[in-house]
Structures are given as structure tokens and as C-alpha cells.
Amino acid sequence: MTFELDVNLSPVLAPLAWLVGRWEGAGVLGYPTIESAHFGQEIVCSHDGRPFLEWQSRSWLLDEAGEKLRPLAAELGFWRVLEDGEIELLLTHPSGIVEMYVGHRDPAKPVLNLRTDGVLRSPAAKEYNAGSRMYGLADSQLFWAMDMAAVGQGLQSHVSAQLKRVG
């Protein structure tokens, strides 16, 4: 699968070019300590020509009819491709959590598998110890899933979504 590269995109970011854009969609969340629910999400992945991607995600809780109930989560961060080809995702959350993910991409297709290499929490943040994320592109849609270890629970499924490129 090939992707048309933005001429202003740093060549080092070619393995992540498929992430660039504005995405919207919905997903499902759940965890042993919270009730399962549906959410809406918007992701903006952009660049300014330097060798990193900027990442902004916001989500909101949806009611049974798919209408927005309230804001749910937000994250800001950066994607980087390291010299050895590893992928880094640095994320910060308004809940007092900062995560550093590292991982790899599948050279044959647009799929990224990442795991936390470091988690920092403010004293007021909920317990969160580790996470893993998978991002993939299929049929022009962005699919992603996250497992987490938090509040006394082991690493397990927490959230997943399917988004379409818009704009």
C-alpha cells in the first residue's frame, strides 16, 4: 500500500505519513472499574515540516442515540521516528498523566504497535501503570485500540475506535 507524501513532510516521517489528517469517528470503552460506554472522537495529526508529527485527540461520551453528553478525554502529543526505525509517541493528558510509548511499525502495511516505556503521574492523578496501543489503517479508516493496567488491574482491553478521515 502506498501513500502520497506531503512535499513538506520530513522524509524521516514517511512511515507515519498515513496518520496525517483530521479523523472523526466513534468507539467503545470499558474496564472492570467503569461501566462500558460509547464515545465520539476527533483526532488531528499534523506537521510543520520538522521531523515529528503533532497529535491532538479529544473525545466525548455519547448517549444511546449517538448524541454528545459531555467531554470525556483529551491528549496532546508528538510522534517521532527514531534512527533505528522505532516509533515513539509522547502523550500528555489533563488528568495529570504523561506517557511515553515506543514500538514498531509493520513494514508491509500501515500498522503500529506500541507499549509504554514510561508513565508519570501527578500526585492527584488516578493510578495508571502501563498501556499498549495499536493503530492501523484499513479501507481508508483509522482503527486503534488500547489496553491498560490501572487501579489495581492488570493489562487488559480498555478502549477502541474506528475513525474516518475528514476535511
User: d(Cα 156, Cα 159) in Å, to the nearest integer?
Assistant: 10
Name the phi and psi angles at 12, rounded to 5.
Answer: -65, -20
User: d(Cα 13, Cα 5) in Å, to the nearest integer?
Assistant: 10
Total residues belonging to the chain? 167
Give 72: exposed, middle or buried? Use CB within 10 Å, 0-12, 13-18, 19+: middle
Q: What percent of the chain has pLDDT over 90?
A: 90
pLDDT digits (tens, 9 = 90+) for 120-143: 999 999 999 999 999 999 999 999
Domains in the chain: ranges and CATH? 11-166 (2.40.128.20)
Q: Has residue 147 got a pLDDT over 80? A: yes
Residue of 104, 141, 96 lying closest to 121 (CA atoms): 96
Q: Has residue 1 got a pLDDT over 50? A: no
With cut-offs at 50, 70 and 90, classify the pLDDT of residue 107.
Answer: confident
Integer CA distances (angstroms), 24 to 52, 54, 138, 148, 165, in order:
22, 16, 15, 23, 7
> What is the reported pLDDT for 2?
43
DSSP at 137:
E
With cut-offs at 50, 70 and 90, classify the pLDDT of residue 47.
Answer: very high
Judging by DSSP bridges, how do beta strands 111-121 and 97-105 pair with one another?
Answer: antiparallel
The pTM of the full predicted model, rounded to 2 decimals, is 0.93
Which of 56-60, 82-86, 146-150, 151-155 is predicted least confidently? 82-86
83 vs 71, higher pLDDT = 71
Largest CA-CA distance found in the chain, in angstroms, rounded: 47
